[in-house]
Amino acid sequence: LVLDAREADEYAEGNIRGARHFSYNDALAEPERVKNLDPGGRPIVVYCGGGACELSINLSRVLIEGGKRRVLIYEAGYPEWETAGYPVARGPNP
């Protein structure tokens, strides 16, 4: 399960194909959303804008504090993914 921790406008501009938008700010505002997140036995991979962006780290902490396990961070984030030519999607509901 891949989660994009960035804000909705950044997600809409481009995201890892198949990733769900699950911003850090939304997770803080809606703790039930974290509780109800079901990765279906899969690891949860969280990313953001890479570099100095810490949204993925912060969201990962919220997920772990909410009882989720096997939470991984894709440190280089969306910029590296896009530069490498991997599949991306655009729009608020790709």
Tens of pLDDT along 3-29? Answer: 999 999 999 999 999 999 999 999 999
pTM assigned to the model: 0.94
Q: Output the pLDDT for position 4.
A: 98
23-72: per-residue pLDDT in tens? 999 999 999 999 999 999 999 999 999 999 999 999 999 999 999 999 99
* H helices present in the chain, as ranges: 8-13, 24-29, 31-36, 55-65, 77-83
CA contacts within 13 A on the Cβ side of 1: 19
Task: Provide the pLDDT for residue 13.
Answer: 96
Q: Which residues pair with 15 in a beta bridge?
A: 89
- When pLDDT is averaged across residues 77-94 and rounded to a whole number, the result is 94
For β-strands 15-16 and 44-47, DSSP reports them as unpaired
